[in-house]
A and B are shown apart, each in its own frame.
Chain A
Amino acid sequence: MLRETEETETILKLTDYRVGFRTERGLAKAVDGVSLSLKRGSTLAIVGESGSGKTVLNRGVMGLLGANIIEGGSAEFQGKELVNESRQKFWGIKMAMIFQDPMTSLNPVMKVGKQVSEPLRLHQGMSKKAARERTIELFTLVGIPEPAQRFNEYPHQLSGGMRQRVMISIALAIDPDLLIADEPTTSLDVTVQKYILDLLVEIQSKSDMSMIIITHDLGVARGRADEIMVMYGGRVMEMAPAETLFQSMMHPYTEALFSSIPRLNDPKHTRLKPIEGFPPDIVDGPQGCKFAPRCKYAQDICLTAHPPETIDNGHAYSCFFPVGTDAGIQALESNEARGFTATGLKIKSKSEAI
């Protein structure tokens, strides 16, 4: 999917990007120093539980969080700095977004056709008739049956899958350089999910746009993303090219996330292992590694120091006791022997678990 040309242009480059909200209790650091770079035509998947900061990160980049936030670090879009600047000039032209729930993100009292043709009329100077024709074309492209008739229908008259297709046609109408899809299939049936995701990827590779897919499901990212970033508590836990990540997960959180989610190709009756505990408090969170309180590998050092980022051949992760390394195996074994981790999390030893 990554188009190999001599000069792959960087569309989005975040350097130590931070987003905070002012709350009664203090600053809530929803995104706490994220760095990444996204090339033209490539796809990045951001994976994490709800509350990991992945949605805030993307809405922050889009500039959709309103005035009540504090931004820090740097975010460059096509070489232009975004932080503390208005992004309005990119909206509907260079950037587009697909939201999680098409029921709430489509205007309930506006005909879907109008909602799709709006950016065409506003930014591409199309006449009403031309915009209508283009919209019907787009509806056909995303597989909406009877597109001319659908043009005059309201969102509540469409099924969930159809609504999400309408959302995708809006993104297509914009024809952006960067498309952010925030959990585009979470509210849909499993069967529709795959279709929509494949449609997105197909369109993305055809039109050479860059895409960020936000998901809590590592399975969604697999095979569709060039690179995967795992977020937790507003920080990057692990980032690697997709296949590298699936072959060798280094961060205990990635591992935990992977085994907590059902996959279509799992053997029947595979037992899921939910991650115990809750996402961290972003105002008054743990001092050291954010994941430590829920981590099976946690040792004393995890409580006091934030692990530095290790970079190994494009595979970056922040952990003192990475999965599969000697240190990691040792840490897990010692915790299993004790029956609990340094943070007091109770764990079962391997033999008991089986």
Chain B
Amino acid sequence: MPKAVKRFIGLLGLLTIVSMVTFGAMNFLGDPLFNILGPVAADVDNPESLAAIEEAKAQYHLDKSLPERWARWAWDFIRGDFGVQFSSSGQPPVSDLIKERLPRTLELMAVAQLIAVSLAIPWSVLAASRANRRTDKISTITAFAFVSIPSFAMAVILFYFFSVQLDFLPDTYTANDPFWGFSHDHRLIQLILPGFTLGLGSAAAYQRLLRTDMITTLQQDFILMAKSKGVSKRRVLYSHALRPSLFSLITLLAINIGFMIGGSLVVEQFFRIPGIGSAVVEATLREDFPVVLAVVMIVSAGFMVFNYLADYLYTLVDPRVRHEDSSKPRKITSMGM
């Protein structure tokens, strides 16, 4: 069996287990009936309530065993039916909520990732080209500090300086505004502050990795060769040294999407962005299980797919892997949530 297929099956298996665990935990720890009916669910002495309870149980298959309910849920999920939102009035389908919220989060992540990468690359190149000199030392300390600032603190800091003090960037996010444009009435501009909040820490993490890799690359013979060909310093850095240094960064980019999802929960909450992160927080607090389950599945799947993609993205920058079957194992520094 090809390696890619094997890995894909592995991912499906993992997703299955993730869904089972989440499904089980929610049913053991919470009470779905209560979320659907509210206080009525506890009112078992009233025949009217009892009828409603029976009806709800039948409708949502709550009278069935847990494995059977999971199987029903999974079957629906595969066909794209994510169930209904228990706690919203009229119980609209979960997919409506996802359709509305997911694009907001993806916008935020894209802006953040763009900021992170476009900061990290020149920053790393500058630091690596002056390795161990003063510029590099200062930038190493800065990167370390940025990595140690959690996203909620970064949100407060940036908000304070750019919105409160300088009154420079918009402090409100309006979901209905058009995205593309350069005034305060465009989401692109409204996303700058949240984007930097998520992006600065990532930029610093990327810088730490890319700087080290760049320094290693700059000691290679082919850099001397490029210099001796009379290639300018800038060109040596950007068109000769950068690309061969990008390999581990690509893996980190993919892994970091997982961390950004964690960070985006807080950022969305702080800047009041109606994204999938704030959706899951609200749903958890209201114990709206179908929503939580759907988001957990989407996020886990997204995380896994990005990791999976990283290996193929890798071949884009490294022609050596493209022409071989096996990609070399890469280890990457990461830990957290």
Q: Are A95 and B323 in contact (CB under 8 A)?
A: no
A139 contacts the other chain (CB 8 A)? no
A350 to B239: give the CA distance in the assembly, Å.
Answer: 60
A317 to B303: give the CA distance in the assembly, Å.
Answer: 70
B3 contacts the other chain (CB 8 A)? no
Give the total number of A-B pairs whose CB atoms are below 8 A apart: 77
Considering the complex, which residues of chain A in the window 150-201 have a beta carbon less than 8 Å from any beta carbon of chain B? 154, 156-157, 167, 170, 174
Asked if A118 meets B224 with Cβ closer than 8 Å, knowing A107-B240, A107-B244, A109-B319, the reply is: no
Q: Are A106 and B225 in contact (CB under 8 A)?
A: yes
> Of the candidates B227, B230, B231, B317, which one forms a contact with A109 in the assembled complex, judged by CB atoms under 8 Å apart?
B317
Q: Is the interface of B mostly helix, strand, loop or mixed?
A: helix
A98 to B31: give the CA distance in the assembly, Å.
Answer: 75
Q: Mark B213-239, 1 if CB is under 8 A from A, else 0.
A: 000000011101111111110000001
- Chain A interface: which size bin? 20 to 34
Q: Mark A102-134, 1 if CB is under 8 A from B, else 0.
A: 001111111000000011001100000000000
A99 contacts the other chain (CB 8 A)? yes
Contacts of B323 in A (CB 8 A): 154, 156-157
Q: Are B221 and A101 in contact (CB under 8 A)?
A: yes
Total interface residues on B, CB under 8 Å, equals 21
B286 contacts the other chain (CB 8 A)? no
Q: Are A170 and B229 in contact (CB under 8 A)?
A: yes
Contacts of B7 in A (CB 8 A): none
Stretch at the interface among A5-13, A86-94, A292-300: A86-94
Q: Are B243 and A91 in contact (CB under 8 A)?
A: no
A96 contacts the other chain (CB 8 A)? yes
A289 contacts the other chain (CB 8 A)? no
Q: Are B244 and A105 in contact (CB under 8 A)?
A: no
Q: Are A108 and B222 in contact (CB under 8 A)?
A: yes
A91 to B232: give the CA distance in the assembly, Å.
Answer: 10
A203 to B94: give the CA distance in the assembly, Å.
Answer: 74
Q: Are B319 and A92 in contact (CB under 8 A)?
A: no
B320 contacts the other chain (CB 8 A)? yes
Asked if A64 meets B320 with Cβ closer than 8 Å, knowing A91-B229, A91-B230, A119-B229, the reply is: no
B63 contacts the other chain (CB 8 A)? no
Q: Which of B225, B231, B318, B319 lies at the interface centre, i.e. has the most chain A CB atoms within 10 A of its CB?
A: B225
> Of the candidates B221, B231, B319, which one forms a contact with A99 in the assembled complex, judged by CB atoms under 8 Å apart?
B221
Q: Which residues of chain A have a CB within 8 Å of any CB of chain B?
A: 59, 62, 64, 88, 90-93, 95-97, 99-101, 104-110, 118-119, 122-123, 154, 156-157, 167, 170, 174
